[in-house]
Amino acid sequence: MNRICYIDDFNQIRFQKTDQLIMIDGKKCEKAEDFYKIIYALLGFPYENNYSLDAFNDWMTDCHFFYSDSIKIIIINNDFFLIKDIQFKEKIKKLFEESILPYWEKDVEKICLGGKVKMFNIFVLNN
């Protein structure tokens, strides 16, 4: 089941050699613009001057950017993560819970030609 997990210790994450890891440091990601710039760079999404949740959702459900069957986004320093944009933080969480994670859990096979289900989990490290 794809989900957001809140953990107290980094050692609670089970890693595999084939995991695609995306690490986000909350101290470097305090507002929406920071988030977009960091995640676009980490995943190799085409740069856009006007970021939006719709565009982000489109890229996050594009089969070409995820090479592994197991994707892990790890957020460290969560106390600082989007601290200057709490409403955006809630919108991102909702987008992952209602769209992105379910897409990779089951919908990808119906929507994307040749798409494969992927384990996609987000680990939020409690400070």
The pLDDT value given to residue 104: 96
pLDDT in tens, the chain (127 residues): 899 999 999 899 999 999 999 999 999 999 999 999 999 999 999 877 678 999 999 999 988 888 899 999 999 999 999 999 999 999 999 999 999 999 999 999 998 878 899 999 999 998 7
Cα–Cα distance, 78 to 24 (Å, whole number): 9
Decide yes or no: CATH 3.30.420.40 for domain 4-125: no
The pLDDT value given to residue 24: 98
The pLDDT value given to residue 50: 73
